[in-house]
């Protein structure tokens, strides 16, 4: 078992992981507050006998106050709050004492001190030490020593620094680099409940506006990056926007690609925390939801879209070996357009490739962004015969003669049938 401070830091890291995996609305309910209360109460119970002369005494006091705030949110009325506290204490006491008895029963030879005896000896020593300190403490003195206050301030500063560094890394991996670090630090120092940062960028000649939303946790002073709004303003005036949440892990560049109508391959998590992979693509033809967002179509890994196989079936110069196929595949999975060279009409032409998971294919575009049909870029291949050679003129003429012979065989039977019908009428 580590120190009290280490235990609290471990819980804070776990809470950050939760808020990165699940929507922020889940952390406002009583279910999560109850979970946090039980976990922190367990930590405080294990460190209940911490001597007052250690630096962790102030941390223990702050933890007690924090638990009181959580209790008041869960149980606004005093009587239910007291009953819930007594019930938790009884459960903690019974569980820990039962563990001690089981361990003692399995202890070593008679005459040796078992784990329970060692624990009782330690508790007795702590009790005597605390009692002695209480007697020697001047009457009327209730304030913590300056060393404890300094330790508390130092711990709070460390936690704030860790929170800032965590958010800065989050922004960097999301694609905003260090452009917003100063504004982020300034707003965090203001201790506001929530704030928003603005960012503009130029992507492939198009304007992109981003609004990033930060909010303080309901149970601590930590800030979290919950979501951001992305708005694409192209030159033609066809503005599009979408909100992307932290659990989607969509970068700024991927947001631009999605707003351009392209698909992005992402690693996602379901409500049980299990990982899966899927292609995401915005459906601009569907009706928007109540938050003014476009519908997001998901093409699961079981949908059957094999990008590698599709790429290997194209006559693309850059796909000469497996390593180049991996490069192209990685670019397309991020939603980018990949410039390539394809042979069409006996000439090498520059084209652009886009992943199309909906139809399990790859879009091929010309230099102007106009789609090239499959017949166009596979025309030469379709003209080839079964053995891979072009059909000659003599072969085509032989085919025409064969069809003529078949038609001649059918013609007499038709005339004979018609004559019989005429005789029947007479």
In a domain, 348, yes or no: yes
The neighbour count for residue 188, using CB atoms within 10 Å, is: 19
Please determine, for residue 129, whether its predicted confidence score (pLDDT) is greater than 90.
no
Please determine, for residue 167, whether its predicted confidence score (pLDDT) is greater than 90.
yes
Residue that terminates a domain, selected from 252, 270, 303: 303
Looking at 46-55, 180-189, 192-201, 296-305, which range is the least confident one?
Answer: 46-55
Q: Which residues pair with 228 in a beta bridge?
A: 212, 244
The neighbour count for residue 181, using CB atoms within 10 Å, is: 15
Q: At 163, is the pLDDT very low, low, confident or very high (cuts 50, 70, 90)?
A: very high
CA 38 vs. chain centroid, Å, equals 27
Please determine, for residue 58, whether its predicted confidence score (pLDDT) is greater than 90.
no
Most confident of 63-77, 89-103, 142-156, 320-334: 320-334
User: Is 296 strand, coil or helix?
Assistant: strand
Structure-token pair, residue 247: 């659990």
Query: Do 295 and 315 belong together in one domain?
Result: no
In a domain, 334, yes or no: yes
In a domain, 415, yes or no: no
Residue 329 neighbours by CB under 8 Å, 6+ apart: 307, 308, 311
pLDDT reported for residue 148? 53
Share of the chain above pLDDT 90, in %: 32
Looking at 133-137, 329-333, 348-352, 378-382, which range is the least confident one?
Answer: 133-137
Is 104 within 8 Å of 114 (Cβ atoms)? yes
The larger pLDDT score, comparing residue 80 to residue 172, is at 172
Residue that terminates a domain, selected from 270, 303, 336: 303
Upper half-sphere CA count for residue 287 (Cβ side, 13 Å): 2
Query: Do 227 and 299 belong together in one domain?
Result: yes
CA–CA dist 24, 78 (Å, integer): 29
pLDDT reported for residue 85? 81
Residue 369 region by backbone torsions, left for phi larger than 0, else alpha for psi between -120 and 50, else beta = left
Residue that terminates a domain, selected from 303, 338, 353: 303
Handedness of CA 268, 272, 273, 277 (dihedral sign): negative
In a domain, 92, yes or no: yes
Query: Do 281 and 165 belong together in one domain?
Result: yes
Note down the domain range covering 352.
307-382
Query: Do 127 and 185 belong together in one domain?
Result: no
pLDDT reported for residue 37? 82
CA–CA dist 282, 289 (Å, integer): 12
Query: Do 163 and 297 belong together in one domain?
Result: yes
Angle, alpha carbons 194-197-201 (nearest 5°): 160
In a domain, 141, yes or no: no
Query: Do 247 and 316 belong together in one domain?
Result: no
Query: Do 198 and 297 belong together in one domain?
Result: yes
pLDDT reported for residue 184? 94
User: Is 64 strand, coil or helix?
Assistant: helix
Please determine, for residue 5, whether its predicted confidence score (pLDDT) is greater than 60.
yes
What is the average pLDDT value for the chain, to the nearest integer? 76
The larger pLDDT score, comparing residue 155 to residue 141, is at 155
Query: Do 351 and 296 belong together in one domain?
Result: no
pLDDT reported for residue 8? 78
Structure-token pair, residue 231: 């708005």
pLDDT reported for residue 400? 57
Query: Do 181 and 259 belong together in one domain?
Result: yes
* Residue 52, Cβ density class (10 Å: 0-12 exposed, 13-18 middle, ≥19 buried): middle
Q: At 299, is the pLDDT very low, low, confident or very high (cuts 50, 70, 90)?
A: very high
Query: Do 54 and 180 belong together in one domain?
Result: no
Query: Could you tell me what percentage of the chain is helix, strand and coil, using 3-state DSSP and rounding each to the nearest 5?
Result: 50, 20, 30
Please determine, for residue 121, whether its predicted confidence score (pLDDT) is greater than 90.
no
In a domain, 138, yes or no: no
Angle, alpha carbons 111-112-116 (nearest 5°): 115
Residue 57 neighbours by CB under 8 Å, 6+ apart: 50, 51, 144, 148
The larger pLDDT score, comparing residue 220 to residue 379, is at 220
Looking at 159-168, 219-228, 266-275, 308-317, which range is the least confident one?
Answer: 266-275
CA–CA dist 352, 87 (Å, integer): 66
Is 248 within 8 Å of 278 (Cβ atoms)? no
Q: At 317, is the pLDDT very low, low, confident or very high (cuts 50, 70, 90)?
A: confident
Query: Do 12 and 126 belong together in one domain?
Result: yes
Residue 319 neighbours by CB under 8 Å, 6+ apart: 311, 312, 325, 328, 340
pLDDT tens string 9-57 = 887 777 777 766 666 666 667 777 788 888 787 877 777 665 555 566 7
pLDDT reported for residue 33? 79
Q: At 394, is the pLDDT very low, low, confident or very high (cuts 50, 70, 90)?
A: very low
Structure-token pair, residue 59: 């941390």
Residue 280 region by backbone torsions, left for phi larger than 0, else alpha for psi between -120 and 50, else beta = beta
The residue to which tokens 């936690």 are assigned: 159
CA–CA dist 132, 129 (Å, integer): 5
In a domain, 405, yes or no: no
pLDDT reported for residue 139? 47
Looking at 77-91, 306-320, 393-407, which range is the least confident one?
Answer: 393-407
Q: At 409, is the pLDDT very low, low, confident or very high (cuts 50, 70, 90)?
A: low
pLDDT reported for residue 359? 93
In a domain, 72, yes or no: yes
The neighbour count for residue 110, using CB atoms within 10 Å, is: 6
Please determine, for residue 383, whether its predicted confidence score (pLDDT) is greater than 50.
no
Query: Do 206 and 226 belong together in one domain?
Result: yes
Number of domains in the chain: 3
User: Is 365 strand, coil or helix?
Assistant: strand
User: Is 213 strand, coil or helix?
Assistant: strand
Over residues 361-384, the mean pLDDT reads 76
pLDDT reported for residue 393? 44
């Amino acid at each position: 078992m580590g120190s009290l401070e280490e235990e609290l830091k471990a819980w804070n890291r776990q809470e950050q992981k939760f808020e990165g995996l699940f929507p922020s609305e889940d952390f406002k309910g009583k279910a999560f507050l109850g979970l946090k209360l039980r976990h922190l109460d367990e930590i405080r119970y294990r460190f209940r006998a911490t001597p007052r002369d250690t630096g962790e005494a102030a941390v223990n006091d702050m933890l007690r106050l924090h638990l009181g705030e959580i209790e008041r949110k869960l149980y606004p009325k005093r009587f239910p709050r007291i009953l819930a506290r007594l019930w938790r204490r009884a459960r903690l006491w019974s569980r820990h004492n039962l563990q001690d008895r089981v361990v003692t029963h399995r202890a070593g030879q008679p005459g040796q001190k078992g784990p329970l005896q060692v624990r009782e000896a330690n508790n007795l020593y702590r009790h005597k030490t605390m009692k002695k300190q209480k007697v020697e403490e001047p009457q009327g003195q209730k304030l913590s020593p300056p060393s404890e206050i300094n330790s508390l301030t130092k711990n709070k500063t460390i936690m704030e620094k860790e929170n800032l560094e965590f958010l800065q890394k989050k922004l960097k991996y999301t694609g905003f680099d260090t452009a917003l670090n100063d504004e982020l630090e300034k707003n965090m120092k203001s201790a506001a409940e929530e704030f928003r940062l603005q960012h503009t960028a130029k992507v492939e000649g198009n304007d992109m506006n981003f609004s990033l939303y930060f909010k303080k946790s309901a149970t601590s002073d930590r800030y979290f990056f919950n979501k951001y709004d992305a708005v694409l303003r192209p030159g033609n005036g066809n503005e599009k926007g979408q909100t992307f949440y932290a659990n989607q892990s969509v970068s700024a560049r991927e947001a631009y690609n999605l707003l351009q109508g392209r698909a992005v391959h992402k690693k996602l998590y379901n409500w049980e925390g299990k990982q899966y992979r899927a292609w995401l693509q915005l459906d601009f033809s569907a009706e928007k939801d109540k938050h003014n967002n476009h519908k997001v179509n998901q093409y699961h890994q079981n949908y059957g879209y094999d990008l590698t196989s599709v790429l290997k079936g194209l006559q693309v110069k850059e796909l000469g070996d497996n390593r180049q196929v991996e490069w192209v595949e990685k670019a397309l999975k991020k939603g980018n357009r990949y410039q390539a060279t394809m042979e069409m009409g006996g000439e090498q032409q520059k084209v652009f490739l886009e992943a199309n998971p909906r139809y399990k294919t790859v879009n091929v575009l010309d230099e102007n962004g106009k789609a090239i049909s499959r017949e166009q870029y596979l025309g030469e291949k379709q003209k080839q015969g079964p053995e891979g050679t072009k059909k000659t003129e003599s072969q085509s003429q032989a085919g025409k003669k064969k069809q003529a012979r078949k038609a001649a065989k059918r013609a007499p039977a038709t005339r004979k049938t018609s004559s019989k019908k005429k005789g029947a009428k007479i």
